[in-house]
């Protein structure tokens, strides 16, 4: 019985780290997805090129978390006929066990596309 308790106690820090890592990743993905949804709700004509810092208050709950949303014209490789399409790139960074983690989501928003 004592052996089982010792084994459980020894594994508790690892289990807590996994729970915390999963919680952070889930929150970061939720924030990134929300940024994409917010940009899709804006009409194509109002999507200005540039980079903006993400100001979601939930980032304060994750160690050293920050992020940016980059809006740019679609590259010639993807849009060879000069289609009216913007590429939106959401990048979030945070620290997990003293290692920098990064997640990047990209989407294309076109004139007359979804929600337009």
Question: pLDDT tens for residues 79-104?
Answer: 898 889 999 999 999 998 889 999 99
pLDDT of residue 56: 94
pLDDT of residue 1: 61
Q: What is the pTM of this model?
A: 0.81
Residues of the chain falling short of pLDDT 50:
none
pLDDT of residue 97: 86
* Exposure class string for 31-70: b at 16+ Cβ within 10 A, else e: bbeebbeebeebeeeebeeeeeebebeebeebeebebebe
Choose among 38, 89, 91, 87: nearest CA to 67.
91
For domain 2-110, give its CATH number from 3.10.590, 2.60.120, 3.30.1300, 3.40.50.
3.30.1300
């Amino acid at each position: 019985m004592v052996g089982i308790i010792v084994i459980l106690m020894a594994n508790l820090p690892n289990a807590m780290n996994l729970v915390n890592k999963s919680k952070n990743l889930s929150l970061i993905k939720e924030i990134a997805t929300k940024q994409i949804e917010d940009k899709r709700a804006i009409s194509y004509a109002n999507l200005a090129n540039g980079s903006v810092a993400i100001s979601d208050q939930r980032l304060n709950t994750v160690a050293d978390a920050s992020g940016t949303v980059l809006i740019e014209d679609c590259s010639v490789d993807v849009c060879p006929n000069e289609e009216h399409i913007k590429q939106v790139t959401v990048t979030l960074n945070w620290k997990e066990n003293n290692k920098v983690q990064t997640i990047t989501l990209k989407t294309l928003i076109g004139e007359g596309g979804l929600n337009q």
